[in-house]
Structure 1
């Protein structure tokens, strides 16, 4: 039997098309086993296609569309064109030598979201880092990495930051712990420049930055950083992302994402209002 092999972190479009295939299969009243028999593959292969864990083989997709009752050739060709586009690697593919597989998925989600919300207790978020700050953070996390590898990591952050200046830039709403601003990373000059960058970011219409001061006391997310992505695509649910030392977890079940959303909403109410952030940052910059 033929089978499909994993092809790296999925693009968001591949996730969307997988969900559309699932909807079509379920509306046709067919099981994974039924679809697998039609393709002469295992039922697990069909499941992995729908979960975007493998690439969308065009002959497979075409056969499934006909099996599911999609006979209009214009619709079929349109779906196949999207499948070809979905199989193309994202820009981050050229950085696969320094980008972990689990983080490649993050970059894909980040690039397609129209709302990105986050809590960050340790570092300035990558989308708002200066190059010198990013370099210092990467060096702290990878003390034995060669200089070239660190510079490749800085280049990834630089590419990601184009997101904030494109025409359809997403809303970036971040709650950042005061610890981030007090932790000396890269030395005083690097920190002053980084805080200046944050001050500039507060003036961007699509960026909302709130600081959680020490004086606010405990809050609902003291266990660690996380992101929540929202998309302008009906098939794609909100997705939460939580990182750890050696990998990351992605959550798309409604009850899981709701827990992250509730914590973040409570934190936004507890943190200093966004309109005070610029003054708060200016005060810390003077202290450095």
Structure 2
């Protein structure tokens, strides 16, 4: 997406139309549009010729082509494609590149913070007809995603969890105790913030369902909001719509218990188990 937008900027800067760019690489104007929108892979011969047509210096062409080759490589999650729905692979990609992840979860602990047993219990419920092998691979994929939090350039993660998340029994009391311990440990991570939205808050603007907000370190990428259903997902990137979600997150963050109270709340809930 970043490189596609940079190609569009270079084309416009050079004053070249879609039609002229298409003639340079012997394709249709639609193909050029799709390249710029990241709807197709970056074919290196096409990119090289487009850059030449746009008058990009040869020293910069090599750097651009190196980035294009890297962009074409499958992500680490490609090996899990047998258990990864197409509509969710985009989520894993966004998650891997985000600099900020903010989310509201009314039902379950976010995948980035789940324990093995908690994730397995959810997978058995969510995929009742899956084989043990498939369940194991889905759990492994979820845990692999958590490697993101250990990176030196890990994203800032700010989660608002409904109190229901911590009171809904998943996998039994022992699994829930371990899961609460995992959340407590996560509070020690410098880039992780967790807030609890108490029942006593009553009605709130995010009650319609979970959603995740992503911000990136590239000016070419817009902020994106992700929501999902039983059979698919929606990725929202129109600025006015994204701002609506962000404002809701801000309001819920004010309504939720302060981050400084999260540890004691988790301790209280664990005692009840």
Q: Give the structure-1-normalised TM-score.
A: 0.92
1:227 aligns with 2:198: no
1:256-267 correspondence runs (5 A): 256-267=241-252
* The one of 125, 140, 163 aligned to 1:178: 163
TM-superposed CA distance for 1:32, in Å, is 2.6
2-structure distance, mates of 1:87, 1:186 = 40
Deviating beyond 6 angstroms after TM superposition, the runs of 4 or more aligned structure 1 residues are none
* The one of 76, 79, 89 aligned to 1:91: 76
TM-superposed CA distance for 1:51, in Å, is 1.5
Aligned residues: 273
Render the CA deviation track for 1:76-107: whole Å, top value 9, x for unaligned.
Answer: 11101110110000100000000111111111
RMSD: 1.1
2-structure distance, mates of 1:219, 1:234 = 32
Render the CA deviation track for 1:141-199: whole Å, top value 9, x for unaligned.
Answer: 11100010010011111111111111111111000111111111111111111011111
Counterpart residue number, 2:233: 248
Which secondary structure does the structure 1 equivalent of 2:129 belong to?
A: coil
Which secondary structure does the structure 2 equivalent of 1:234 belong to?
A: coil
* The one of 28, 41, 49 aligned to 2:27: 41
Counterpart residue number, 2:53: 67
TM-superposed CA distance for 1:219, in Å, is 1.0
Counterpart residue number, 1:165: 150
* The one of 245, 256, 261 aligned to 1:271: 256
1:1-288 correspondence runs (5 A): 15-70=1-56, 72-288=57-273
1-structure distance, mates of 2:12, 2:47 = 15
Render the CA deviation track for 1:41-95: whole Å, top value 9, x for unaligned.
Answer: 222211221111211000110111112221x111011101110110000100000
2-structure distance, mates of 1:26, 1:243 = 36
Which secondary structure does the structure 2 equivalent of 1:127 belong to?
A: helix
Which secondary structure does the structure 2 equivalent of 1:204 belong to?
A: coil
Instruction: Pick which of 93-102 and 46-55 moved more.
Output: 46-55
TM-superposed CA distance for 1:34, in Å, is 2.8
Which secondary structure does the structure 2 equivalent of 1:89 belong to?
A: coil
1-structure distance, mates of 2:169, 2:211 = 22
